[in-house]
Amino acid sequence: MNKYFVKYGKDHRAQYISHLDFLRTIGRAMRRAQLPLEYSQGFNPHPLITFAAPISVGIKSECEMFCVRLTEDITAEEFKERLTDAMPDCLPILEVTKDEIEFKSINSADYEIETEKPVSDELINAFMAEPQILIDKKTKKGIKETDIKADIFDISVQDNIISATLKTSDSGSLKPMLLISAMNKYGIDTGFCRYLRLRFRDTDKNVI
Amino acid sequence: MLEKILQKVSKPARYTGGEYGSIQKDPKSVAIRYAFCFPDVYEVGMSHLGLRILYHLINEREDTYCERVYTPWPDMYEEMKKENIPLFALESGDPIKNFDILGFTLQYEMCYTNVLRTLDMAGIPRKSADRDESDPLVCAGGPCTYNPEPIADFFDFFLIGEGEEQTNEYLDVYKTCKEKGLSRAETIKEISKIEGVYVPAYYQAEFEGDKQMSFTPLYDDVPKTVKKRIIKDMDSVYFPDKIIVPFMEIVHDRVSLEMFRGCIRGCRFCQAGYIYRPIRERSPERLLELAKKLIDKSGYDEISLVSLSTSDYRKLQEFIDELLKYTEKRMINIALPSLRVDNFSLDLMSKIQKVRKSSLTFAPEAGSQRMRDVINKGLTEEDILGGARLAFSGGYKSVKLYFMIGLPYETDEDVAGIPLLAKKVVETYFEEPREGGKNVNVTCSVASFVPKPFTPFQWSRQNSLEELSEKQHILVSTIKSRKVNINYHESKISVLEGVFARGDRRLCSVLERAVDLGCVFDGWSEFFDNEKWLQAFSDCGYTTEMFTRERSYDECLPWEFIDIGVTKEHLKRENEKAKIAEVTPNCRQKCAGCGAASWKVGVCYE
Ligand code: SF4
């Protein structure tokens, strides 16, 4: 099988690269690395590449993943070496493996949110004690007030770092920015925030 | 702070850098910090080949760190102002106020307000005379510097001509001066000794009424004329074999490879055709070597072969055949802009384009044969209609034609010739029984002519807005056909472009006033504000007509102190021939003795 799973990071310079821009970037990097992509058959061939839970713009990451098929069979090590050389520094290749990773099993993601103003435990507890947490959420049908409480799987705070496990799956995701908007709405002043995605988890909370 | 505002602005990737191929150096390890400034937004500036060449050329030097600076989009400007963030360079994020040199490239006149905005945002005094030892040197090169006078006050020096050799020369001089601890003024003096360097503060211009009366050096050791720089050997001159590959989509998102410099044609309206004389080609071997490296190292899937007139490359067929061997295997597309429309090019295009474009573009520039002779386009109606026939038989349904109005010696009949020609193009489709005639479409894109320095039309009066709008009326009222579309451009911008193209030092005050009134990004119709510009002119006591008027042969033209090789005598001769619609053969048919042979290179010695 010439199927490779690639884990990569996005540093602060790369956090504003949109998904479409990343697709173009990876296509060019694969060419530079002379890693021949396999294309789909049919009238409008496109490279066989799939992404795990695409990330929104404005978030750094240590756990992005995509899966790609090559027309050639090389080792995962060689793949990693070649692609690393062909990528810009701000998108480091962290790991390449041929072992199957089930993107579909992703159910949540851990985030680290650095707040400008420190947030106390009490405030977080009070926030989570609300019967429901309502916030305007953009959906396909327009803006809709939604209860996001059930999408916050875990949340804790230490000084100005909020650690949160948020729902991230095919059936819907909670973006960390929306969590912060909700906290602001419920009276917690965070100030400006930096966002970092750390890892994915499955339904049993095992790290993927 | 910066991180905070990036969350608020549109397209933040314009300001973050980090692209593949961009250069990272330790600022402490270099002697010279250089900010390469392109006075337009990232997507436009990144597309520019000259910047791409010089960025890598400068960074080849171990002693210099060259970084990029683009003009922040107005939303970013507002945020940066609010938070008091000074303009920074893309690679290091450091404020450019503390750099050694700011080098601007000036590609079009409508970016001048952005130059001042760049200086303002950097915290550097606008005027050369107001800068002190704590400020970087501010210089500029690029095609607009063939008339640097309208922006003379804002630059410490200009670099006239092709920059590949000169750049290293002045960086060497700068470094020596810095090591010796010379002052700003002394350093500029040393740099001024390099050929092609123009220091506006060393000259005085005098005016009377509308006219510039004289232009004289203030000191005995300052030359009366400044010679442009020219690259003699296109094969040995530096060309990067790597490029920056942006994340976001830019205007020209592909590899650009320059095939040759200059042009043999001598179209009388075209400044590039004169200032880059004589034509000098890169060898097919060198082009192929560069093309392969650039494709491999960039990962782009398209390469564009750029020049002023690609069909004039002598070994085009041979070169394309070789290039195809390389690109076909790799699924790389070749783009060939600026082709003439003939059998040969259509054949070529069907070979190189995997997906055929639905419309074919060509540029007759003028509608009537008389007018095409006036501008020396060297294209007959038969050439155009023949091209259209070939295109239609090749399966094209739509043709796009580029024209200009407001050309010198133009009559109403000449203008009406544009829609009439378009109609004839449509008719060629129906000469043969063909299907799908319903979808045949000819689009004319009509620009307003702007007289430029160093062309035979440099003396011509530019049409007023009223004249242009009358001509636009002729364009749309001459024929009624649903198969012919006519688009024309906003002519207010053209008038202003003309003012700055042929203006003089007095415009520096107008430009400053316009910036203070809020003018910026004038090349973008959503920001261009003609009312503000008119106010700036009247506040300074000038009119646009002072600069768009006709000039006489004996008038002192503001740009005449620059020597491009082509003589004034030749330009006069060409203007006289234009008046009687007489054509001049191209350089390969017969040398017209333009004066550029004095450079002792290129076509003049083929
Ligand atoms: S000197 Fe003659 S050949 Fe050379 S550029 Fe001028 S016209 Fe062309």
Per-residue pLDDT tens over the stretch A156-204: 999 899 999 999 998 889 999 999 999 999 999 999 999 999 999 999 9
**Which of A168-177, B346-355, B414-423 comes out lowest in average pLDDT?**
B346-355
pLDDT at B354: 62
pLDDT at B390: 86
Quickly state the pLDDT bin for B490 (edges 50, 70, 90).
Answer: confident
Q: What is the pLDDT of residues B289-305, one digit of tens each?
A: 999 999 999 999 999 99
User: Is the confidence at residue B437, as pLDDT, over 80?
Assistant: no
Which of B570, B603, B605, B606 has most ligand 1 atoms within 8 Å of its beta carbon, as the pocket-test mutant?
B603
- Is pTM beyond 0.90? Reply is yes
User: Is the confidence at residue B425, as pLDDT, over 70?
Assistant: yes
Nearest CA of chain A to the CA of B328: how many Å?
Answer: 14
User: Is the confidence at residue B356, as pLDDT, over 70?
Assistant: no
* 3-state secondary structure labels for all residues of B48-109: CHHHHHHHHHHHCCCCEEEEEEECCCHHHHHHHHHCCCCCECCCCCCEHHHCCEEEEECCCH
pLDDT at A128: 95
Question: Given an 8 Å threshold on Cβ–Cβ distance, is B247 in contact with A22?
Answer: yes
Do B487 and B444 touch, CB atoms closer than 8 A?
yes
Nearest CA of chain A to the CA of B1: how many Å?
Answer: 10
- Across the interface, of B4, B24, B330, the residue whose CB is closest to A192 is B4
Residue B263, ligand 1, Cβ within 6 A? no
User: Is the confidence at residue B603, as pLDDT, over 80?
Assistant: yes
Could you give the CA distance from residue B387 to residue B345 in angstroms, rounded to a whole number? 10
pLDDT at B606: 80
Q: Is the dihedral of CA A183, A186, A188, A193 positive or negative?
A: positive
How many contacts does A have with B, using Cβ atoms within 8 A?
68
Is pLDDT larger for residue B150 or for residue B362? B150
User: Is the confidence at residue B338, as pLDDT, over 90?
Assistant: no
User: Is the confidence at residue B352, as pLDDT, over 80?
Assistant: no
Nearest CA of chain B to the CA of A58: how many Å?
Answer: 7
Token pair recorded at residue B303: 């390469």
Question: Given an 8 Å threshold on Cβ–Cβ distance, is B20 in contact with A58?
Answer: no
- Rounded to an integer, the average pLDDT of B255-266 is 94
Q: What is the pLDDT of residues B177-220, one digit of tens each?
A: 999 999 999 999 999 999 999 999 999 999 999 999 999 999 99
Amino acid code (one letter) for A187: G
Do A15 and B15 touch, CB atoms closer than 8 A?
no
The alpha carbon of B311 and the centre of ligand 1 are apart by a number of angstroms equal to 18
Considering only CA atoms, which of B446, B562, B447 is closest in space to residue B497? B447
Quickly state the pLDDT bin for B381 (edges 50, 70, 90).
Answer: very high
Q: Chain B interface residues facing chain A, Cβ-Cβ under 8 Å? A: 3-4, 6-7, 11-13, 16-22, 24, 245, 247-249, 296-301, 330
Chain B partners of A11 at a C-beta cutoff of 8 Å?
Answer: 18
Is pLDDT larger for residue B132 or for residue A53? B132
Mean pLDDT of chain B: 94
- Rounded to an integer, the average pLDDT of B340-344 is 75
Q: Are strands B484-488 and B441-448 parallel, antiparallel or unpaired?
A: parallel
Quickly state the pLDDT bin for B351 (edges 50, 70, 90).
Answer: confident
DSSP state of B229: B
Neighbours of A74 (CB within 10 A): 15
- Interface-testing mutation among B3, B7, B76, with chain A (most A C-beta atoms within 10 A): B7
pLDDT at B355: 59
- Interface-testing mutation among A10, A11, A13, A38, with chain B (most B C-beta atoms within 10 A): A13
Place of tokens 């007509």: B545
Could you give the CA distance from residue A148 to residue A127 in angstroms, rounded to a whole number? 12
Question: Nearest residue CA, atom 6 of ligand 1?
Answer: B594
Do B455 and B435 touch, CB atoms closer than 8 A?
no
**Which of B237-251, B313-327, B353-367 comes out lowest in average pLDDT?**
B353-367
Question: Nearest residue CA, atom 2 of ligand 1?
Answer: B591
Chain A partners of B4 at a C-beta cutoff of 8 Å?
Answer: 192
Residue B597, ligand 1, Cβ within 6 A? yes
Considering only CA atoms, which of B361, B421, B358 is closest in space to residue B385? B421
Q: Which SS3 state, helix, strand or coil, does residue B439 take?
A: helix
pLDDT at B489: 84
pLDDT at B218: 97
Do B280 and B602 touch, CB atoms closer than 8 A?
yes
pLDDT at A57: 93
Report yes or no for ipTM above 0.95.
no
In sequence order, the 6+-apart residues with CB closer than 8 A to the CB of A3 are A67, A68, A69, A98, A100
User: Is the confidence at residue B244, as pLDDT, over 70?
Assistant: yes
For residue B276, CA distances in Å to B129, B281, B316 come to 32, 12, 20
Run of H or E including A158: strand A152-158
Considering only CA atoms, which of B194, B312, B295, B200 is closest in space to residue B241? B295
List domains and CATH numbers for chain A: 3-101 (3.30.70.580), 105-201 (3.30.70)
Helix, strand, coil shares of chain A as percentages rounded to 5?
25, 40, 40
Could you give the CA distance from residue B118 to residue A110 in angstroms, rounded to a whole number? 41
Q: How many CA atoms lie within 13 A of B527 on its CB side?
A: 19
Q: What is the pLDDT of residues B500-543, one digit of tens each?
A: 999 999 999 999 999 999 999 999 999 999 999 999 999 999 99
Do B123 and B105 touch, CB atoms closer than 8 A?
no
Residue B596, ligand 1, Cβ within 6 A? yes
